[in-house]
Amino acid sequence: MLTTTAIDETKLNEFLGRAVGDIGAAISAALVVIGDRLGLYKAMAGAGPMTPAELARRTETSERYVREWLANQAAGGYVDYDAATRRYTLPPEQAAALADETSRAFLPAAFQIITAAMKSEPRITENFRTGAVVDWCDRDPTLFSDGERFLRRRIWSEGSRYP
């Protein structure tokens, strides 16, 4: 039962700001996975400014969805947008982190780990009720392949004894 205590509006608004940031991050995580799987980042890397139509043609995807994806990516600072030309660019720093799988800064696989972990939520919620354990073998298999993909460049860096 909720109590009727005074609410500090400043604290409430600070909390809501953090929560909305988390919500945006969760949505962006899914969109980073989509951009990686569809090759959107790789198609933009080094290509210069492009319209949603140009990116859609280059990746054989729907212009409508690419336009919305680009709008989200620009809002999050993942791509740059030039309002005068209505074109989007993937800056070289973001390209290193989002399009270059040989880069130690490559991030999409980390975002894929998040989506794989979220797939386990129903079982974990049930385990809170029952006390059961989620075995590693019961996890979404992409958790392991994406985990390896993410860690590969960090563990097997130049000069490392690993391949």
Cα–Cα distance for residue pair 132/139, rounded to 1 Å: 14
- Reference 106, options 145, 43, 155, 149; nearest CA is 149
Residue that is written with structure tokens 């090759």 in the block: 39
Mean per-residue pLDDT over the chain, rounded: 86
Supply the pLDDT for residue 104: 84
Task: Give per-residue pLDDT as tens, 58-113.
Answer: 999 999 999 999 999 999 999 999 999 999 999 999 999 999 988 888 888 888 87
Torsion of CA 55, 61, 67, 73, to 10 degrees: -80
Alpha helices (runs of H) in the chain, residue ranges in sequence order: 9-37, 40-44, 52-59, 63-75, 92-98, 108-119, 121-130, 142-155
Please state, in angstroms and as integers, the Cα–Cα distance from residue 149 to each residue in 5, 105, 125, following that order: 49, 12, 28
Q: What is the pTM of this model?
A: 0.75
Cα–Cα distance for residue pair 91/7, rounded to 1 Å: 44
Residue that is written with structure tokens 């800056």 in the block: 91
Query: Domains in the chain and their CATH numbers?
Result: 18-100 (1.10.10.10), 102-157 (no CATH)
